[in-house]
Structure 1
Amino acid sequence: MLRARFLILLVTAVAACAQGKLPADYDGYVRRAMKEYGVPGVSIAIVKDGATVLLQGYGARAEGKPGAVDPDTVFGIASLSKAFTAAAIAMLADEGRLGWDDPVVKHLPWFQLWDPWVTREITVRDLLCHRSGLPPYGGDMLSFFSPVPREEIVRRLRWLKPESSFRSRYAYQNNMYLAAGEVIRAASGVTWDEFVARRIFDPLGMKRSSTSIKNFPPDGNVAMPHAKVRGGQQLIEWPNWDSTGAAGAINASARDMAEWMRLQLGAGEYRGKRLFSEASSREMWTPHTITPAPRIPPGARLPRPNFTAYGLGWALFDYQGRKAVTHSGGLTGMTCRLLLLPSERLGVLVLTNAENPLHYPLIYRAADALLGLPETDWIAVHRDAQRRTPERRFPARVEGTRPALAPEAYAGLYRNPMLGDVRIERNEARWRLRMEGLGPEAEAVMEHWNYETFRLTWKDPTWPLTNLVFQLDSQGAIEGARMEVAEPADPSFDFHNYPLERVHAKK
Structure 2
Amino acid sequence: MPSSYAYQRLALDESVALPYRSKRSWALHGSHFILTLILSAAAYYAGRHADHSAARPSAVDLACFPSLPNLFAGEPPSPYDTHFLKAAKAYRRALDGAFAGHPIDGLSVAVVTSAGQLFEGHWGHQRANESEPTISVMTGMSQYRVASVSKLLLVYGAWVLEQRGVISWDDRVDKHLPAFRPNYTSFSPYPAEYSPITLRDLASHLSGLGHDWPVGSGSNFPHDRHGRGPPPNNGRPFPSHDDVFNAIQSTPLVSPPGLVPVYSNTAFGVLGMALVAANRARGGDTEPTTVAELMRRDVFAPLGMEGTHYLATENNSHLVVVPSFGAEIIDMDFLDALNPSGGMFTSLTDLSKFVTALLDSSKGPLSRSTIDRWLRPVHVFDEDDWTATGVVWEMFKHIDSHGRRRYVYVKLGELGVMHAAVAVNPATGYGVVILMSGVYSDAAGLAYAAFDAFQPAFDSALTDRATRLYSGKWRAPTSNSTTEARIAVRQGSLWIENYVLRGTPVLQHLYGLNAAPLRSTGRRDEFRLDIGVRRQNGLKHRGCMPHWAAFDDHGMRHGAAVTLISFTGDGDRRRLHVPAAEIEMTRF
Query: How high is the TM-score relative to the length of structure 1?
Result: 0.61
For 1:265, the equivalent position in structure 2 comes to 359
Higher relative contact order (CA 8 A, sep 6+): 2
Cα deviation for residue 171 of structure 1 reads 0.9
The superposition leaves residues 241-276 of structure 1 with CA deviations (integer Å, 9 ceiling, x where unpaired) of 42321111111010111000011122xx243xx512
Inter-CA distance 235–102: structure 2 relative to 1 (3 Å threshold): closer
> Secondary structure in 1 aligned to 2:108?
strand
Task: Establish whether residue 357 from structure 1 lines up as the match of residue 441 from structure 2.
Answer: yes
Task: Establish whether residue 206 from structure 1 lines up as the match of residue 305 from structure 2.
Answer: yes
Cα deviation for residue 186 of structure 1 reads 0.5
Among residues 140, 150, 154, which one is paired with 1:81 in the alignment? 150
For 2:170, the equivalent position in structure 1 comes to 101
1:4-153 correspondence runs (5 A): 20-21=84-85, 22-63=87-128, 64-66=131-133, 67-115=136-184, 121-137=196-212, 139=214, 144-145=231-232, 146-153=237-244
Task: Establish whether residue 330 from structure 1 lines up as the match of residue 414 from structure 2.
Answer: yes
Q: How far apart in 1 are the matches of 2:415 and 2:215?
A: 12
Cα deviation for residue 355 of structure 1 reads 4.1
Cα deviation for residue 347 of structure 1 reads 0.8
1:238-317 correspondence runs (5 A): 238-243=330-335, 244-266=338-360, 269-271=361-363, 274-291=364-381, 306-317=385-396
Structure 1 contact 284–313 (Cα < 8 Å) conserved:
no
Structure 1 contact 118–166 (Cα < 8 Å) conserved:
no
For 1:217, the equivalent position in structure 2 comes to 316
Cα deviation for residue 54 of structure 1 reads 1.9
Q: How far apart in 2 are the matches of 1:364 and 1:326?
A: 10
The superposition leaves residues 86-113 of structure 1 with CA deviations (integer Å, 9 ceiling, x where unpaired) of 1121111111111110111111111111
Q: How far apart in 2 are the matches of 1:18 and 1:187?
A: 50
The superposition leaves residues 294-317 of structure 1 with CA deviations (integer Å, 9 ceiling, x where unpaired) of xxxxxxxxxxx7342211121223
Structure 1 contact 143–153 (Cα < 8 Å) conserved:
no
Cα RMSD, aligned residues only: 3.0
1:83 aligned partner, one-letter code: L
Structure 2 contact 387–397 (Cα < 8 Å) conserved:
yes
Inter-CA distance 51–147: structure 2 relative to 1 (3 Å threshold): closer
Inter-CA distance 237–77: structure 2 relative to 1 (3 Å threshold): closer
Inter-CA distance 103–183: structure 2 relative to 1 (3 Å threshold): same
Greater gyration radius: 2
For 1:480, the equivalent position in structure 2 comes to none
2:172 aligned partner, one-letter code: P
Task: Establish whether residue 181 from structure 1 lines up as the match of residue 256 from structure 2.
Answer: no
Q: How far apart in 1 are the matches of 2:95 and 2:268?
A: 33
Cα deviation for residue 114 of structure 1 reads 0.9
2:170 aligned partner, one-letter code: D
Structure 2 contact 214–239 (Cα < 8 Å) conserved:
no
Cα deviation for residue 19 of structure 1 reads 5.5
Q: How far apart in 2 are the matches of 1:261 and 1:72?
A: 16
Q: How far apart in 2 are the matches of 1:155 and 1:19?
A: 56
Cα deviation for residue 138 of structure 1 reads 5.0
Please, which runs of 5 or more residues in structure 2 have no aligned partner?
A: 1-67, 186-191, 217-228, 281-287, 400-404, 459-588
For 2:567, the equivalent position in structure 1 comes to none
The superposition leaves residues 124-180 of structure 1 with CA deviations (integer Å, 9 ceiling, x where unpaired) of 111111112234445465963224324532442212222323322111011010110
Structure 1 contact 205–256 (Cα < 8 Å) conserved:
yes
Cα deviation for residue 212 of structure 1 reads 2.2
Inter-CA distance 192–249: structure 2 relative to 1 (3 Å threshold): same
Among residues 263, 267, 283, which one is paired with 1:172 in the alignment? 263
Bigger proportion of residues as strand = 1
Structure 2 contact 213–248 (Cα < 8 Å) conserved:
no
Q: How far apart in 2 are the matches of 1:224 and 1:140?
A: 28
Q: How far apart in 2 are the matches of 1:315 and 1:263?
A: 19
Q: How far apart in 1 are the matches of 2:301 and 2:215?
A: 30
For 2:451, the equivalent position in structure 1 comes to 367
Q: How far apart in 1 are the matches of 2:297 and 2:114?
A: 27
Structure 1 contact 329–337 (Cα < 8 Å) conserved:
yes
Cα deviation for residue 41 of structure 1 reads 0.5
Inter-CA distance 373–278: structure 2 relative to 1 (3 Å threshold): closer
Cα deviation for residue 119 of structure 1 reads 8.5
Inter-CA distance 151–333: structure 2 relative to 1 (3 Å threshold): farther
> Secondary structure in 2 aligned to 1:98?
coil
Q: How far apart in 2 are the matches of 1:140 and 1:154?
A: 13
1:51 aligned partner, one-letter code: G
Q: How far apart in 2 are the matches of 1:242 and 1:105?
A: 24
Please, which runs of 5 or more residues in structure 1 have no aligned partner?
A: 1-7, 228-233, 294-304, 375-507
For 1:159, the equivalent position in structure 2 comes to 250
Q: How far apart in 2 are the matches of 1:186 and 1:238?
A: 28
Q: How far apart in 1 are the matches of 2:246 and 2:263?
A: 19
